[in-house]
Amino acid sequence: MTFDVPKGATAWFRRELTSPVEIRFTAEAVSSGGAYDRVSDLNCFWMADDPRSPGDLIARPRSGAFADYDTLRTYYVGLGGNSNTSSRFRRYVGNGERPLLPQHDLSAAGDLIVANRPYRIRLIADGSRIEYWRDDRRMFALDDPAPYRRGWFGLRTTWNHMTVRDFSVWTVA
């Protein structure tokens, strides 16, 4: 799949997922002189649901504006967000609040995106164990006392050219 978009766009996996689950894919931010080759915003939502329409994520259309996602209950990582100056993990609570813990707000160069470099991403929702891996490094972990046990996966970016391949979903054993 290729994103080459001037604004926000999200691709949603059609099937609802249930915990325990692991989502895997390889993503690469492309920088080769194209109009939207801005290295930024590899955004992932997993176990996403909308409390305003439980069980039907697409019942309420979204414009692609990032604020349209604030009402979701979901786990979220923005890798290379804010023009590739931060990488953040949040647990959206479904009412517009998106709490950010200090240990989930990273800005070192090694926590951002390098252009034209493929990254192997793994997202895990296994009961209370929530994790985000990039290559062989666990970047974010949360022991969630009230885990989201079902929902959808979405991959989002904005003003970006990105390729995604080798997508798979696994039941965690």
3-state secondary structure of 16: coil
What are the structural domains of the chain?
2-171 (2.60.120.560)
Distance of CA 150 to the CA centre of its chain: 16
Q: How high is the mean pLDDT in each 10-residue block of the chain (173 residues)?
A: 94 95 98 96 96 84 82 97 97 94 97 98 98 98 98 95 97 84
Does 147 sit behind a cis peptide bond, omega within 30 degrees of 0 on the bond before it?
A: no
End-to-end CA gap in the chain: 28
pTM higher than 0.85: yes
